[in-house]
A and B are shown apart, each in its own frame.
Chain A
Amino acid sequence: MSSVWVAVLVVGAATIALKAAGPVLAGERRLPLGSARVVDLLAPALLAALVATQAFSTDEALVLDERGAGLIAGGIAILLKAPLLVVVVVAAATAALLRLVT
Chain B
Amino acid sequence: MRALILHTASSVLRLVPDPKTGERATRRRPEEGLSGGYRLGLRAVTPLLPAVLAFGVSFGVLAQAAGMGASASIVMSLTTFAGSAQFAVVSVLGAGGTAAAAIGAAVLLNARYAPMALAAAPVFRGGKLRRLLEAQLLVDESWALARREGGFDRRVLIGAGAGLYVGWSGGTAIGVVAGDSLADPATLGLDAAFPALFLALLAPLLKNRDALAAALLGAGIAICLTPITPAGIPVIAATAACLVGLRRPAAAQAPSYDERPPAAPGSDAEGRASAAPEGARG
- Taking a contact as CB atoms under 8 Å apart, the answer to whether B235 and A49 are in contact is yes
- Cβ of B249 < 8 Å from any Cβ of A? yes
Shortest Cβ distance from B73 into chain A, in angstroms? 8
Contacts of B47 in A (CB 8 A): 83-85, 88-89
Contacts of B124 in A (CB 8 A): 23, 28
- Taking a contact as CB atoms under 8 Å apart, the answer to whether B19 and A30 are in contact is yes
- Taking a contact as CB atoms under 8 Å apart, the answer to whether A46 and B116 are in contact is yes
- Taking a contact as CB atoms under 8 Å apart, the answer to whether B270 and A16 are in contact is no
Shortest Cβ distance from B76 into chain A, in angstroms? 5
Chain B interface secondary structure, helix, strand, loop or mixed?
helix
Option from A32, A70, A91 in Cβ contact (under 8 Å) with B16:
A32
Contacts of A59 in B (CB 8 A): 231
- Taking a contact as CB atoms under 8 Å apart, the answer to whether B79 and A15 are in contact is yes
| Segment at the A interface, from B33-41, B101-109, B166-174 | B101-109
Contacts of A70 in B (CB 8 A): 189, 192-193, 195-196
Shortest Cβ distance from A51 into chain B, in angstroms? 5
In the bound assembly, the distance between CA atoms of A3 and B67 in angstroms comes to 11
A contacts with B, residue count (CB < 8 A): 82
- Taking a contact as CB atoms under 8 Å apart, the answer to whether B135 and A47 are in contact is no
In the bound assembly, the distance between CA atoms of A37 and B275 in angstroms comes to 12
Shortest Cβ distance from B143 into chain A, in angstroms? 8
- Taking a contact as CB atoms under 8 Å apart, the answer to whether B93 and A24 are in contact is no
Interface mask (A10-45 → B, CB under 8 Å = 1, otherwise 0) = 111111101111111011111111111111111111
In the bound assembly, the distance between CA atoms of A66 and B82 in angstroms comes to 23
Option from B19, B72, B197 in Cβ contact (under 8 Å) with A29:
B19
Chain A interface secondary structure, helix, strand, loop or mixed?
helix
- Taking a contact as CB atoms under 8 Å apart, the answer to whether A23 and B132 are in contact is yes
Option from B8, B110, B192 in Cβ contact (under 8 Å) with A66:
B192
| Known contacts A22-B135, A47-B201, A88-B196; 5 further A-B pairs (Cβ under 8 A) | A35-B12, A36-B150, A40-B149, A48-B202, A48-B238
**Chain A to chain B: the 4 pairs with minimum beta-carbon distance, closest first:** A70-B192, A74-B196, A12-B79, A22-B118
Q: Give the interface of B toward A (CB within 8 A).
A: 8-9, 11-19, 23-24, 27, 44, 46-48, 51, 67-69, 72, 75-76, 79-82, 85-86, 89, 93, 98-99, 102-103, 106-107, 110-122, 124-125, 128, 131-132, 134-136, 138, 140, 144, 147, 149-151, 186-203, 205-206, 210-212, 214-219, 221-223, 226-227, 229-231, 234-235, 238-246, 249, 252, 266-268, 270, 272, 274-275
Q: Give the interface of A toward B (CB within 8 A).
A: 3-16, 18-24, 26-57, 59-62, 66-67, 69-71, 73-75, 77-78, 83-85, 87-97, 99
26 contacts between A and B (CB under 8 A): A7-B99, A8-B75, A13-B79, A14-B106, A18-B117, A23-B124, A32-B15, A34-B15, A35-B12, A36-B150, A36-B270, A41-B214, A43-B205, A46-B238, A49-B221, A51-B195, A52-B222, A52-B234, A60-B227, A60-B230, A70-B193, A74-B195, A78-B203, A85-B46, A88-B48, A96-B192
